[in-house]
A = this chain, B = another copy of it.
Amino acid sequence: MMILRSSPASPFGRKVRIAISLLGFDDQTRIEPADPTDFSDSLRRQNPLGKIPVLIAEDGAVYYDSRVIVDFLDERAGGGKIVPREPRQRLAALRLQALCDGILDASILTVYEARWRALEHHEQKWLDHQAGKVTRALELLESNPPVLAAAAGSLPNIGQIALACALGYRDFRFGEGWRNAHPRLVAWLDAFAARVPAFAATKPTG
């Protein structure tokens, strides 16, 4: 069995869990909860950065971060399944993943402002800086949502999986406010969820 160290709230963990499901590895993976704030957790020995997700393969090899785990899983599944091989498609998927990981990074730093600092120390300029990244990225995506492959059985790519996780994280931590100004992304996310049962199954909690 592979072991995935993650938490039910982690959007990067969700990305990997959806990849595991789409690639058919659910039966070969056990999820072992990890708490990045708990110093007694073995997580820091597995990944010195103390970040989740971390994947531990049967041979003991440890993989992080989420992009590297997905690369490993796609290779294990034969290659070219959710990380396209054709250079143009591949780079479009990887750039979309980078954009959506960036939405997540900015969103997480915003959540951390409240988690790590007293209210009177919150820095509005910093929060605005992070919010600007999210606003501009969602605007670009709304103007040109990615296209889910129409072919039956074709899998969404890692960029699209990352987008679903980024939008899901906005819902989870910031409420559904983003939905008003982004009707095309709302429709896109509905279509993604209809195609990918693992999306609903990994809805964040905590």
Are A44's CB and B136's CB within 8 A?
Answer: yes
Residue A146, interface by CB 8 Å: no
Tally chain A residues at the interface, Cβ within 8 Å. Answer: 40
- Count identical subunits in the complex: 2
Given contacts A75-B91, A116-B126, A116-B129, 20 further A-B contacts (CB under 8 A): A44-B136, A48-B99, A48-B137, A48-B139, A48-B140, A49-B99, A49-B133, A50-B133, A51-B102, A63-B91, A64-B99, A67-B67, A67-B94, A67-B98, A68-B95, A68-B98, A71-B90, A116-B123, A117-B121, A121-B123
Contacts from A to B (Cβ < 8 Å): 44, 48-51, 61-65, 67-68, 71-72, 75, 87, 90-91, 94-95, 98-99, 101-103, 106, 112, 116-117, 121, 123, 125-126, 129, 132-133, 136-137, 139-140
27 contacts between A and B (CB under 8 A): A44-B136, A48-B136, A48-B137, A48-B140, A49-B99, A49-B133, A49-B136, A50-B132, A50-B133, A51-B102, A51-B133, A61-B91, A63-B91, A63-B95, A65-B101, A67-B67, A68-B91, A68-B98, A71-B90, A71-B94, A75-B90, A116-B125, A116-B126, A116-B129, A117-B121, A117-B126, A121-B123
